[in-house]
Copies of this chain bind each other. A is one copy, B any other.
Amino acid sequence: MKDKRKIPKPVIKRMGLYYRCLNKLYEEGIEYVASKDIAARLGIKSSQVRKDLSYFGEFGKRGVGYNVDQLMKKLEDIIGVNKIWNVIVIGAGNIGTAIVNYPGLKKEKFNIIGVFDADRSKVGKKLGKLSVTHFSELEKFFNKNIVDLVVLAVPENAAQMVVEELEKYNIKGIINFAPIKLRTKIPVEDVDITLSFKSLVFRIEREIK
Q: Count the copies.
A: 2
Interface of A is mostly: helix
CA distance A193 to B110 in the complex (A): 12
Contacts of A200 in B (CB 8 A): 149, 173-175, 187, 189
Interface residue tally of chain A, by bracket? 35 or more
A199-B13 CB under 8 A given contacts A94-B98, A181-B42, A204-B173: yes
CA distance A201 to B97 in the complex (A): 22
Q: Is the CB of A201 within 8 A of B181?
A: no
- CB pairs A–B below 8 angstroms (17 shown): A12-B203, A13-B195, A15-B202, A17-B195, A19-B198, A78-B202, A79-B205, A85-B201, A97-B98, A104-B194, A108-B194, A149-B200, A173-B200, A175-B196, A175-B200, A187-B200, A187-B209
